[in-house]
Amino acid sequence: MTRPLEGVVVLDLSRVLAGPWSGQLLADLGARVIKVEHPTRGDDTRGWGPPWLDGDHEAERVAAYYLCANRGKQSLAVDIATEGGQALVRELAKGADILLENFKVGGLAKYGLDYPRLKELNPRLIGCSITGFGQDGPYAHRAGYDFMIQAMGGLMSLSGEPDGMPMKTGVAITDVMTGLYATVGVLAALQERARTGRGRHIDVALLDVQVATLANQALNTLVTGTSPERHGNAHPNIVPYQAFACADGHLVLTVGNDAQFARLADLLGHPEWAEDPAYATNAARVGNREVLVPMIQALLMDRSRDEWLAELEVRGIPAGPINTLTEVFDDPQVRHRGLHRTLAHGPRGVPQVSNPLRFDGESATSEIAPPALGQDSDAILAEMGLTADDIARLRRQGVIR
């Protein structure tokens, strides 16, 4: 399959999750992504285990965390703190279309590799800087991590039981969303460059993304002037829209309109609820949730989870089980859509989660496994015109791996 970004070259100086997530998405879409890593440490996430995917030797052990965000890339192990390493990155930047980086503000400038200086070498270069707090403002100098940003950006105040501790999400969702926004910005800049011939600098901050993705909860606050309360597994604006216990487990019920509620009321043996002014509309149900929800909960305890799910499905009432991740990957729909795949790499292969984008029915997932540290250094440098002797000399000097 021809991929949309074939011919686009990405110089990826990012690490951990937000930047690599964007780089992986660009690689899935067909871009050539050259991941620049420190020769001895590599991306921090290579060591963020257990769990590990074991190689034949201890030195080849790599963390599952690293594997989630780096397929489709080439690894060039270069020490950018050396003059030789800086020269190599500048040369790569001359032929690149996109620079991805998530250094602290000013962090690349001390190496002469900041976007303004690289753009002097390549006016068509698009730069994307991902930081915790952005390129300006009173917090610009601070490091930013997903957990901290979930706290500062309000997400944790919305998560957890009303009488419990505020909770983070089980996935570093702010990093992931930041990677997605970075990719959107890069693609927009590529489109603009096709008209103007010049690159742009994109400033993406985790805190900005976290606040921007508060969605309805942000507007609930701005409209009312008060902060929302935590509702645990319930919804602040829709009822019934939450988790319920059954005789042998739990399910999630997501009633999104009054017609669905009428069908639910009939299933539960109380068709009169759909005509009762206290429950007939969503606004009424939200106002009377303290009465309605316990009544629904009591009735659902009479049967098993799967019995209820079958009845709800027949009546077109949205509901689902609360699956563990092993159950997720064994789900018939997930299996049908091919969301779990294995990429060829060594004797075992590398498990991956497919890119959810499909073009003309084909998955936009790179078939190239996440690279070993420095596995492509020689090939990339040779392509740049360095001889075998040049590469050996740089390796002896510790510039490359």
The per-residue pLDDT of the chain, averaged, comes to 96
Residue by residue, DSSP assigns 57-115 as SGGG-EEHHHHTS-TTEEEEEB-TTSHHHHHHHHHHHHT-SEEEE-PPTTTTGGGT-SH
Please tell me whether residues 74 and 203 are part of one structural domain.
Answer: yes
| 57 or 268, greater pLDDT | 268
Average pLDDT over every residue of 96-119: 97
Q: Residue 75: is its pLDDT beyond 60?
A: yes
Is 152 within the bounds of a domain? yes
What was the pLDDT predicted at 61? Answer: 83
What was the pLDDT predicted at 345? Answer: 82
The single residue of 175, 266, 330, 360 carrying the catalytic annotation is 175
Residues 6+ positions from 286 with CB-CB distance below 8 Å: 237, 238, 239
Please tell me whether residues 59 and 158 are part of one structural domain.
Answer: yes
175 catalytic? Reply is yes
Please state, in angstroms and rounded to a whole number, the distance separating the CA atoms of residues 335 and 98: 35
What was the pLDDT predicted at 1? Answer: 74
Q: Residue 258: is its pLDDT beyond 90?
A: yes
What was the pLDDT predicted at 59? Answer: 61
Cβ-count burial 22-36 (b if 16+ within 10 Å, e if not): bbbbbbbbbbbbbbb
* Residues 213-255 pLDDT 10s: 999 999 999 999 999 999 999 999 999 999 999 999 999 999 9
Torsion of CA 93, 98, 102, 104, to 10 degrees: 60
Ramachandran angles phi, psi of 76, nearest 5°: -115, 110
Please tell me whether residues 368 and 303 are part of one structural domain.
Answer: no
Q: What HEC string does 146-213 produce?
A: HHHHHHHCCHHHHCCCCCCCCCCCCCCHHHHHHHHHHHHHHHHHHHHHHHHCCCCEEEEEHHHHHHHC
Domain count, the chain: 2
Is 224 within the bounds of a domain? no
What was the pLDDT predicted at 348? Answer: 79
Average pLDDT over every residue of 263-273: 97
Q: Residue 352: is its pLDDT beyond 60?
A: yes
* Residues 166-183 pLDDT 10s: 999 999 999 999 999 999
Check residue 72 and give left, alpha or beta (phi > 0: left; psi -120 to 50: alpha): left
Please tell me whether residues 16 and 129 are part of one structural domain.
Answer: yes
Q: What is the pTM of this model?
A: 0.94
Q: 300 with 290: CB under 8 angstroms? A: no
Please tell me whether residues 190 and 258 are part of one structural domain.
Answer: no
Domain harbouring 247, CATH code:
3.30.1540.10
Please state, in angstroms and rounded to a whole number, the distance separating the CA atoms of residues 32 and 242: 43
What was the pLDDT predicted at 57? Answer: 55
* Residues 21-70 pLDDT 10s: 999 999 999 999 999 999 999 999 999 999 999 755 566 688 999 999 99
Cβ-count burial 55-71 (b if 16+ within 10 Å, e if not): eeeeeeebbebbbbbbb
- 8-state DSSP, 371: P
What was the pLDDT predicted at 347? Answer: 73
Task: Report the first-to-last Cα separation within the chain, whole angstroms.
Answer: 33
Instruction: Domain of residue 290: give its range.
Output: 241-323
Is 225 within the bounds of a domain? no
Please tell me whether residues 207 and 307 are part of one structural domain.
Answer: no
Q: Residue 104: is its pLDDT beyond 90?
A: yes
Please tell me whether residues 65 and 200 are part of one structural domain.
Answer: yes
* Residues 289-341 pLDDT 10s: 999 999 999 999 999 999 999 999 999 999 999 999 999 999 999 999 999 99
Q: What angle do CA 14, 18, 21 make, to 5 degrees?
A: 85
Is 223 within the bounds of a domain? no
Please tell me whether residues 286 and 351 are part of one structural domain.
Answer: no
Please tell me whether residues 116 and 75 are part of one structural domain.
Answer: yes
Q: Residue 7: is its pLDDT beyond 90?
A: yes
Please tell me whether residues 260 and 297 are part of one structural domain.
Answer: yes
Average pLDDT over every residue of 90-102: 98
Please tell me whether residues 13 and 48 are part of one structural domain.
Answer: yes
Is 229 within the bounds of a domain? no
